[in-house]
Amino acid sequence: MFDPESWTLFQGLVAFGLCALVIAIAGTRITRIVDQLADRTGIGEAAAGAVLLGATTSIGGSVLSVTAAWNGNAELAISNALGGIAVQTFFLAVADMVYRRANLEHAAASVPNLMQNALLITLLALILITPLLPNITIWGLHPSTPLLFIVYVYGIRLVHGARNTPMWAPTKTRETREDKPDDIHLMPSMARLTTEFFVLFAVLGFAGYMLEPSATVIAAETGLTQTIVGVMLTAISTSIPELVTSVAAVRRGALTLAVGGIIGGNAFDTLFTAASDIAYRKGSIYHTMTDGTLFWVCLTLLMSAILMMGLIRREREGPARIGLESVLITVLYVGGVWLLLNQI
């Protein structure tokens, strides 16, 4: 049972389902901890969503992509990383459907969230252009890999600065929900929060590690391409925490955390590609990207740009009391899935 190379399809599906369940439970629990850490440390929900929540709920997918790249499964590594960004953007539309008081793009508009989304678009554009550049590597790495890390770190600094010293602010309305810290005296101690945070972080990482062999078995036994398995199975399963946490955060009224967690997690997920290039020992992993994966990057860029316009436009109510941008994002994602399953 513990030798993945000898697993049957049934064993692969069971292992996959158990790992997905662990990711869902641990990812849900870690949301409340991150929200409390944001208040205790004073870094704010947007920054906490970008760094803490984004990184921890994404760790399962990160480990999966790196493991897949190390084992030579470049297509699975890339499609899992980039497919997760698309499905998590779609999850924001789902959260918008849950929040009935106003469109989520209107209520949760903030400078840090806009800055995070701009960072995400920049990182996706860098990934998209890399396969068009010369296929060169230095010590096994393409030059775009360190550049992605540098841009991400600099972008997070800009997000933090946008919160502390914003040069402009969105107009406040009665539907606007600002990031207001809860009473820290009613929270667990900092030591307990930190301990729980790292324990759940380790659990999510291990679950992601175990997802890779099960996904490889499913792809081999069913005849599905690794792109389909990456986008439709591993990306969705490792993104379950983002769906659960964004809906839970919306219900708790932590709208900035809900939006910041998704966008921040998306920006962090682009680093899966850079980390996968480090683990991939056969050259530049960017130049292994298939047409299907490149299509998914373009689709994700389009969805992110539409979300950006929604956060700026701030429509109060749209079709069926959800934002027009959420409707467009849903249509694009469902259409992308349909095209993927029909091999584009």
> Residues 185-227: pLDDT tens digits?
556 777 888 888 888 878 877 887 777 788 888 878 887 777 7
Report d(CA 186, CA 32) in Å as an integer.
13
Report d(CA 200, CA 206) in Å as an integer.
10
Residue type, 180: K
Residue 124 in tokens: 């996706």
Structure confidence at residue 143 as a pLDDT band (50, 70, 90): very high
- The whole-number pLDDT of residue 171 equals 64
Whether the CA torsion 181, 205, 296, 99 is positive or negative: it is negative
Taking residues 70-86, what's their average pLDDT?
86
Alpha carbons within 13 A on the beta-carbon side of 163: 23
CB atoms within 10 A of CB 111: 19
Residue 205 in tokens: 């990482």
Q: DSSP for 197-243, please give it.
A: HHHHHHHHHHHHHHHHHHHHHHHHHH---HHHIIIIIIHHHHTHHHH
The pTM (predicted TM-score) of the whole model is 0.79
More confident site: 212 or 78: 78
In three-state secondary structure terms, 341 is helix
The per-residue pLDDT for range 245-289, each reduced to its tens digit, is 777 777 766 666 677 777 877 888 888 899 999 999 888 999 999
Indicate the length of the chain as a whole number.
344
- The whole-number pLDDT of residue 175 equals 55
Residue matched to tokens 């999850």? 91
- Output the domain CATH number for residue 312: 1.20.1420.30
pLDDT over 70 (residue 184): no
Range of the domain at 274: 4-341
What's the domain count of the chain?
1
pLDDT over 70 (residue 304): yes
In three-state secondary structure terms, 92 is helix
